[in-house]
Amino acid sequence: MSSFNIYMCGVGGQGIGMLSEVLSRACLEAGHNIMGCDTHGLAQRGGIVVSHLRLGDGVRTPRVPDGSADLVIALERLEALRAADAMLAKSGTVIYYDTIYQPIHVRMGKTSYPEADALEETVKTRGGKVERVQLADIDDPRMQNVALLGRLASTGVIEGVSARVVEQALRDALPAKALAANLAVFEQAAEKTAP
Amino acid sequence: MSDFAGKTMVLLGNEAIGRGLVEAGCQLAMSYPGTPSSEILPSFVRFARVENIDVHSEWSANEKVAFEEALAASYTGKRTTVIMKQVGMNVAADPMMSSAYTGVKGGFLIITADDPGPHSSQTEQDTRMFALFAKIPVLDPASPDEARRMVPYAYELSEKYEIPVIMRPSLRVCHGRESSTLEEPLVLDRPANFVKDTHRWAATPRYRLKLHQQLNEKLVKITEDFEADTTFNFVDNADAKSSFAIIAAGMPYATIRDILKEHGAFERVPILKIGTAYPYPKKTIEGFASRYDKVLVVEEPDAVIELQLSMRNRVMGRHDGTVPDAGELTGEVLTDVLSKVLSDAGVIDKPWVISRDLRKVVDDLEIPVRPASLCPGCPHRSSFYTIRKLFGKKGIYTSDIGCYTLGLNLDAVDTCLDMGAAISMATGFYHAYNHDKGDVPPIVATIGDSTFFHGGLPALAGAIYSDARYILVILDNLVTAMTGMQPTLALGVQADGTLGTVLPLEDACKGLGARFVRVQDPYDQDGMRDVLKEAQEHCRGPEGRVAVIIARHACLINDKAAAKANVSPVTINDNCNGCGLCRKTFECTALVKGDPVEGKEGRFYTIIDRRVCADCGQCIPVCNRGAIQLLEN
């Protein structure tokens, strides 16, 4: 059974739901059979929000097992680290938006936010790759998910999920009034890495 | 013709179940929201609407009420359902136990979502155990699409034997996404027709014995049906030459398949998949088990099939410690179990090399946890802050199930047990301290608006009647926020958006005999403090009873207008000395740690995280030094 496992994570309110929705549509359009599952309920309030997406014909379980994510898409640096540590498969890829949301014990001064190089180190020990995304001029932090989609599409790490396919999924999933601004961010993020 | 029949859609398990209800001709659906079940009723409403089918749907006061409403509707011959999470079944247990005896007329489906983990529940209870206890047939889907397909079957079974049927999807089925090819909806022309039969619908104990005997006869026949079923009970790899086999149910069945396929061992292991745990399909299960020396039973969250298996010496599972007896049976857990069991049984040569052994290679990596937190601008935070500041450490703070359980982070929640318990436990604390004839510490119960209607009403009646004296704060954010913004009874909006009757909280409290009932906006912290003081005086006064404060301010996530109504952006000025008091006592995700204070180790200036700040200005009074101030333009 060959499967491709995608693990998405971030902090409640960052727009993981939309990221997951658009990516699911794009993967379907690209001809993949998909299964997945999301976080619901209380965790959405400022806690960790995750979404699992598995591609492959034989897949029956929606949850990506620990240590088997071929691709981690993280909306926050600490959550990227947590996912790289627990979820990333050997030689997997981490694409993350480099921004910080302090968890409660950091805010209260009981512990420190991890150092910037912890993520690179962790991914290196697994023989994986890290793609850092940060666009200087995004006004609305809720569009950081679209920036990640732009970068993801240009890397071609998911078979068949090209920039064109993701863009169409965005057009299908987003309300008309939000579309133009999101597409601009999407294109900007894609261009930054275009070879 | 339906535009949806024949179409393939990727659906959330709960959406698939809602679709299944429409495909099965369900006419009335009652529910109380609770993760992981909350999306089922809205999906039913939506699919009925797009198919132009007229249905009745309702967010009921609680699960017991929802159950009784849906059951009575089934007595009229209509197809009905009641939907809840697993702990909701505890609330609905009374009518459920009895309904097994009375039976039903129109198909009656009880949908109860289990939460192995638990991810958002108080317990890991297994609804199938409840089915066994109540003598009600139970179906256990292993995937979102199977859940959809089980719904019409459940209705046919229910009507064939005039018996309630339970379907219990677990969290990964409810919130899993899978493609489903939709089928035609079923539109039933069944006017309500309640045929009186007092020996059944109002049976006295003498007739109850008869009903029990009839129930047992029904179960014998259903057992035969389940033993004949090959749709939800089937064998993979029946021809595999093996002395070892697996019996699996629900999501663990799917997980086991994936693991075995991943490790190339699938074809070597016979697997019996069971979708009908009760009544126990003995011939199917024991006929299968008798062909092997050892049988591993994998199910969750508890051991229901395993418990019923009579061939104890062949069975491996939770009872002999092979499978862990708590927690979700994730791929990781089951990989460990299978690796050991299969290598012991000689199915594989040696235990698998498991890729996650790579985990934690960076040993000194201490990754901070990220517990949930009340949203910035949440009115509950203001309530908790004022309560805690006024009554301090010596106060006893009972609370309840909802977003506001997160008042824990402000040290303003001491207990959280079950729906409605904030009030009855405050009554219990009062009587325990009052029993000693000495000082009763300040007691403040906090409960949400929806939870108050769910379990708080009888608790308040008991508190007033027994002369308990404490402060009850109803945190009224005008919505059931935690489970996804369902309307409460106080709003008079029904599940399909149509208007019902508004039930004001203040009228309910006064009607139950509370003399002190005030409505207060918690954003007005001075006003909130004053009314709390008055309430405490009332409790201590000669005519004192439970003093009720309705802390009313709309949830900002649900009500965008409310979010824009109080715009008071703040900034930190030079008075900040890095003491951290604001971050500790107000606990807001927008008040974050900034640069270290020079020369003062462990001290950090506070800064405002403008990305998440709600501009509510509620943190201004928190700083004693006046370091948090309105942002000047």
CA distance B302 to B313: 19
The per-residue pLDDT for range B261-297, each reduced to its tens digit, is 989 999 999 999 999 999 999 999 999 999 999 999 9
The values of phi and psi at residue B322, to 5°, are: -65, -40
Q: Determine the distance in angstroms separating the CA of A192 from the nearest CA of chain B, rounded to an integer.
A: 24
Amino acid sitting at position A102: Q
CB contact under 8 A, A108 and B583: yes
Considering only CB atoms, which chain A residues are within 8 Å of B592? 102, 106-107
User: pLDDT for B19-49, tens place per residue?
Assistant: 999 999 999 999 999 999 999 999 999 999 9
Torsion on CA atoms B266, B268, B274, B279, rounded to nearest 10: -160
Residue B363 has pLDDT above 60, yes or no: no
Taking the Cβ of residue B593 and every Cβ of chain A, the question of whether any pair is shorter than 8 Å is answered with: yes
Secondary structure of residue B344 in the 3-state scheme: helix
Helix, strand, or coil (residue B604): strand
Interface subset of B 370-409, CB within 8 angstroms of A: 370-375, 403, 405-406, 409
Per-residue exposure over A113-139, b if at least 16 CB sit within 10 Å of its own CB, e if not: bbeeebbeebbeebebebbebebeebe
- Name which of A1, A46, A66 is nearest B373 (Cβ-Cβ): A46
Place of tokens 């001075």: B526
B166: which strand partners? B110, B138
- Which of A33, A89, A107 has the CB atom closest to B583's CB atom? A107
pLDDT tens profile B91-140: 999 999 999 999 999 999 999 999 999 998 999 999 999 999 999 999 99
H helix runs in A127-162, sequence order: 144-155
Q: Is B258's CB within 8 Å of A61's CB?
A: yes
Residue B180, CA atoms < 13 Å, CB-side half-sphere: 27
What is the count of residue pairs from A and B with beta carbons less than 8 Å apart? 192
- Name the residue facing B356 among A28, A67, A101 (closest C-beta): A67
Report the pLDDT averaged over residues B292-318. Answer: 96
| pLDDT value of position A142 | 81
Tell me the domains of chain A and their CATH numbers.
4-137 (3.40.920.10)
Asked if B483 has any chain A CB less than 8 Å from its own CB, the reply is yes
> How far is the CA of B384 from the CAs of B381, B404, B440, in angstroms?
5, 9, 21
Q: What percent of chain B has pLDDT over 70?
A: 98
Mean pLDDT of A138-161: 89
Minimum mean pLDDT range among A92-106, B178-192, B353-367, B517-531: B353-367
Question: Mind telling me how many Å the CA of A15 is from chain B's nearest CA?
Answer: 13
Strand B108-113 versus strand B165-167 pairing type: parallel
pLDDT at A57: 86
B38 contacts in A (CB within 8 Å)?
40
For B375, name the nearest residue in chain A, comparing CA atoms only.
A45
Asked if A40 lies within 8 A of B35 by C-beta distance, the reply is yes
Using an 8 Å CB-CB cutoff, list chain A residues near B580: 108-109
Residue B433, Cβ density class (10 Å: 0-12 exposed, 13-18 middle, ≥19 buried): middle
Torsion sign, CA atoms B251, B254, B257, B258: negative
pTM for the full model? 0.94
The answer on pLDDT for A139 being more than 80 is no
**Structure token digits, residue B558:** 């649900």
> Are residues A46 and A13 in contact, defined by beta-carbon separation less than 8 angstroms?
yes
Give Cα B16 distance to the centre of its chain.
18
Considering only CB atoms, A43 lies closest to which of B372, B405, B591, namely B372
Q: Does B179 touch chain A (CB under 8 A)?
A: yes
B261 contacts chain A (CB < 8 A): yes
Token code pair at residue B115: 């939460």
- B8 — contact with chain A (CB < 8 Å)? no
Calculate how close chain B gets to A195, using CA atoms only, in Å: 32
CB contact under 8 A, B359 and A66: yes
- Out of B370, B591, B593, the one facing A48 most closely (by C-beta) is B370
Query: Within 13 Å, how many C-alpha atoms sit on residue B289's CB side?
Result: 24
DSSP letter string, B388-426: HHHHTTTSEEE--SSGGGGGGGGT---B--STTHHHHHH
Q: Tell me what pLDDT residue A41 has.
A: 64
Phi, psi of A116 (to 5 degrees): -60, -30
Distance separating alpha carbons of residues B345 and B238, to the nearest angstrom? 18
Helix (H), strand (E), coil (C) string for B199-216: HHHCCCHHHHHHHHHHHH
Q: Are B81 and B111 in contact (CB under 8 A)?
A: yes
| Number of C-beta neighbours around residue B534 at 10 A | 15
pLDDT in tens, B162-213: 999 999 999 999 999 988 999 999 999 999 999 999 999 999 999 999 999 9
- Do residues B377 and B614 lie in contact, with contact meaning Cβ atoms separated by under 8 Å? yes
**For residues B470 and B463, what is the distance between their CA atoms, to the nearest angstrom?**
9
Of A36, A60, A121, the CB nearest to B362: A121
> Considering CB atoms only, which of A68, A104, A121 is closest to B587?
A104
Distance (Å) from the C-alpha of residue B73 to the closest C-alpha of chain A? 30
Which residues, listed in sequence order, are joined to residue B444 by a DSSP beta bridge? B397, B471
**Chain A: residue nearest B404 by CA?**
A42
Q: Are the beta carbons of A149 and A166 closer than 8 angstroms?
A: yes
Nearest CA in chain B to A37: B176
Spell out the alpha helix ranges (H) of A4-76.
Answer: 16-29
